[in-house]
Structure 1
Amino acid sequence: MEEKCTIRLMSVEDIEDVIVVEQDAFPVPWSREAFQNELTNNQFAHYLVVEVDGKVVGYCGVWVVIDEAHITNIAIHSNYRGKKFGEILLIHALDLAKTFGAKKMTLEVRVSNEIAKQLYEKLGFQSGGIRKKYYTDNLEDALIMWVMLNGNEAG
């Protein structure tokens, strides 16, 4: 049976659940304070969560500055990967950025993260360069990817 998910804006009440996803997904996870600051003090930040059966299993952060959007992080808990939740979440993030007037979106992804790169390419992102030694845990390079949000469907 295929699981259904709900995408909604993240609230401060979601931080504890998001921390669980963050710690599962990243070797250098963001702190509770970082998420608190993003949600309460950063006028450019917009966060979405994905819920399955009322449980937060993923999230995505987007900064929109003037006409440019930047994915700060996107993660799905490892127990819920491979079920298209990341793709659904990213499509919602693209739409959210458009509603705030973004014309293009960018993100960084580990050069070794083939699954994520395939998803981004599927949704129209293209390579735009390399950030050398971007990731602090192992100094891995990041691939910079961009997509135009010109009103066409992302996927």
Structure 2
Amino acid sequence: MINYRLMTIEDVEAVHAIEVDVFPTPWTLNAFYQEMTSNTQAHYIVAVDDTDKIIGFCGMWIVFDDSQITNVAVLPEGRGKGIGEALMRHAIALSKDKKVNVMSLEVRVTNIVAQNLYRKLGFSDGGIRKGYYTDNQEDALVMWVNL
């Protein structure tokens, strides 16, 4: 069984390890510590398995009535089990609790699996950010949903 909860500073190293495993240009460990200690707009949810291992996370910045998803990642062994969707649903619920009106995110134009998940959750295409990803200059599709 997977449980979902807010991330704490004690989770930073485990979340960073997932970030490094999943993304070609991962955030630094210090960036996650900064998110937990200095960024009052940062909110993170973690997915924890029944052995108490963090297997996924979703981060967002909530500024006034806008929520921007910063990163969503699930370890390869946890994919295809609805964990990413559940993380996003928890992020949406938290955003609604905080009176957010609009949630947005960027996703690689080649990441069709993620795009399909976001569309399933009600996100619409909003535009393209040319050369957004620094590792290969890939474009990002901006997606948004009214909450």
Shorter-normalised TM-score: what interval?
Answer: over 0.9
The answer to whether 1:52 aligns with 2:49 is yes
Cα contact 1:132–1:142 (8 A) shared by 2: yes
What is the SS of the residue equivalent to 2:99? coil
- 1:152 is aligned to none
Q: What's the CA shift string for 1:95-149, capped at 9, x where partnerless? A: 0111111001000000000100000000000000000000000000000000010
TM value normalised by structure 2: 0.98
Tell me, in whole angstroms, the C-alpha distance in 2 between the residues paired with 1:10 and 1:112: 29
Tell me, in whole angstroms, the C-alpha distance in 1 between the residues paired with 2:90 and 2:141: 22
Q: Identical aligned pairs, as a percentage?
A: 52
What is the SS of the residue equivalent to 1:75? strand
Matches within 5 A, 1:97-108: 97-108=95-106
- 2:10 is aligned to 13
Matches within 5 A, 1:74-85: 74-85=72-83
| Of 136-145 and 18-27, the range deviating more from structure 2 | 18-27
Tell me, in whole angstroms, the C-alpha distance in 2 between the residues paired with 1:22 and 1:44: 20
- 2:88 is aligned to 90
The answer to whether 1:118 aligns with 2:111 is no
Tell me, in whole angstroms, the C-alpha distance in 2 between the residues paired with 1:24 and 1:81: 13
Tell me, in whole angstroms, the C-alpha distance in 1 between the residues paired with 2:12 and 2:39: 15
- Runs of 5+ unmatched residues, structure 1: 150-155
| Of 66-75 and 16-25, the range deviating more from structure 2 | 16-25
Correspondent of 1:22 among 11, 19, 22: 19
Correspondent of 1:142 among 129, 140, 143: 140
- Runs of 5+ unmatched residues, structure 2: none
What is the SS of the residue equivalent to 1:101? coil
Q: What's the CA shift string for 1:38-94, capped at 9, x where partnerless? A: 111011110110011111000011111111100000100111101000001100000
| Letter of the 1:132 counterpart | K
**Poorly superposed stretches of 4+, deviation over 2 Å:** none
Tell me, in whole angstroms, the C-alpha distance in 1 between the residues paired with 2:35 and 2:13: 14
What is the SS of the residue equivalent to 1:83? coil
